[in-house]
Structure 1
Amino acid sequence: MPQTPSEDPGHPGPLRRLSLAELRRRTSMKWRTYPPDVLPLWVAEMDVPLAAPVVRAITEAVACGDTGYPAGTEYASALSGFARERWGWDGIAVERTTIVPDVMLGVVEVLKLVTRAGDPVVVNCPVYPPFYPFVSHMDRRVVEAPLGPDLRIDPVALEAAFRRAAAGGGRPAFLLCSPHNPTGTVHSAEELAGVAALAARYGVRVVADEIHAPLVTRDTAFVPYLSVPGAADGLSLMSASKAWNLAGIKAALAVAGPAAAEDLARMPEEVGHGPSHVGVLAHTAALREGGGWLDALLADVDDNRRLLAALLAEQLPAVRYRPAAGTFLAWLDCRPLGLGDNPAEVFLARGRVALSPGPDFGTGGAGHVRLNLATSPEVLTEAVRRMAAAVA
């Protein structure tokens, strides 16, 4: 059975344990979308072995044939304990949670509870690309509220967007990304309280995608949206999938603030059939027993932030990068390179490095790329070398 770094302090961290050859044996989207000569640093999969508690949970379930339908509230209890320990927040009441297939499908189901067809949904762009099609495919319309130049929530832009959203009547919502993808920004308690105050003023319901919540540096406070004053009618989607690399075994939780409990209670019962039972077991084990592995991962990601900054300063000094406190993603401003709206095309064609194209993230994404830091220092170093060679 593999050991976590916390069980074996002398072992390398999760991002330093797998070779490129081992990783290329994987058959997931990250490793099969592009030819073998491409370094894939795009989609949010991590180059890590699974945490030992997760491996145990999955192996034991398969060994005894425990592969039926999900049941119970153990996942919610585990998340509640994790929130209490990590964020000092005792606000997850198990009775105000429900299991959903994954965070984005949970977002859709929650938005159906608090909005109607044709209603506006505000987003802070540039933002996680699936926000756009998921909202539009459920017959809602996206209203953009661009981030400020500091890549933080701009209260003036947000209020203007709320005002536009409320002007047409209906039931507007705000789909908050916290921590923010792609910038890695970790919103402060003051910023989130400001969001809640604006939402109350304009009658906007807040739905928070907090999938990256565990992926915050230990010296930065993650603030759950539902913990701030005025957020009692908000709803949140949380999961262990990003922090423990469990996207392929789906499970997530919708969490309601006290004033949104009746909304969540209207969630159709069949939505709870979508999550994987094995996924629920794996996510529960991660939240309850995977803290040491997570700490080692966070240290590795932080090392890679520093490494990326140094590599860019040396080899691509025109690229602007602000190391952030959240996620394992890096948002690179490549506009000074003069590569057009989609520099990812150039880095792929000339450098054989796959990055997420900035334009996919909405307004403010042109000229940018998103780079996945959750890889080994060796792969990251080679990727930047190739990127530099591509524009030499």
Structure 2
Amino acid sequence: MSSQEQGKFIVVPEGSVTTPKGFRAGGLHCGLKKTERHDLGAIVCEVPAAAAGVYTLNAFQAAPLRVTQESIAQDGKLQAMIVNSGNANACTGQQGEDDARAMRAAAAKALGLEVHHVGVTSTGVIGELLPMHKVLGGIEELPQRVKTDGGDDFCQAILTTDLVQKMTCVRVSIGGHDIHIAGAAKGSGMIHPNMATMLGFITTDAKIESQHLQLLLNRVTDNTFNMITVDGDTSTNDMVVVMASGLAGSETLNPQHPDWEAFAAAFQYVGEYLAKAIARDGEGATKLIEVNVVGAESDNAARAIVKSIIGSSLVKSAVYGADANWGRIIAAVGYSGQSVNVNTVDIRLGDITVLEQSRPVKFDEEQALAYLKTDTIHIHVNLHMGSGKATGWGCDLTYDYVRINAAYRT
């Protein structure tokens, strides 16, 4: 197995959500999308897996999210996640609730599982009822489509305006046992922190109780999925779900276990990889923007400033145009709502210093232009006020973003 070292864990390039022991996945086309691309998928575990989830803060939370939360709440376990793309089943009233429950019941019957061990989620157009005859027909076919090498088919089934699939896998040694953590996600537009518009699915064969898995997911979400933005919109359907089969044969993990931090670091890598992949694949995007803020009064202040910068349409537009207009960056710092010493701010674009102690620094415009034409842009801000720090990710704002979203339903 070819692999790549990343600190205490190893990246498995060919891995997928089915690499952890006990998992199968798959996808198919049931007719929700106009094209023949897959639009219905599933991840299935051999055993009821410890589960945890995080969900959108949008007040209009879609029906499938409520159904999935209900399933996990029963005994902290899931054995399957069913997902459709092409229709969000959001803002669809009681019928939407009934349809989400019908999806759950149909999947449980088809796969021979307890109903409360099935979660469901949807992504796509808001406000349209699911064509349930198509969905239920597809669910009947799913048992024949889920397999140990079905990770790619599952990834295709969850895409909407995404241009690329987003998947990663790592291996970490826990008590002498190889543990795998894998993730798949979709997300391209309506991306904004708390949470970004996205669906994320993480599988692991670690043995871990649901409550500890939930605590870890919350922590990683705050530093990854909640630190990306594309367009400032938070969707109705955002969700990340983790399933842990416990089949790797290791001891039960908890925060007191000597290998907990190694496991947490590997888990953090999976979340960060998927978050950055979503930001890089923002609708119409040509560049990934990473913003690092240090020297803030607190980590929370640093996070707020990061989000202000990566959420600025003017900053995003300047990056698209390769314009080293640092004035847009410091303006975003200033309106972040956080305490700032207006005399001590440093800003760098990559290695190019453009502001020092809040005073302009003469820099080579041609060098800055060449840097800003690359596909990954790093913006560094040092406030020189404290030890708070944070990192977040976004993308540039292009003409294609408007084109894609002007015709989303048509």
- TM-score, scaled to structure 2: 0.22
Structure with the higher strand share, 1 or 2? 2
Indicate the structure whose relative CO is greater, using CA pairs within 8 Å and at least 6 residues apart: 1
Structure with the higher helix share, 1 or 2? 1
Larger radius of gyration: 2
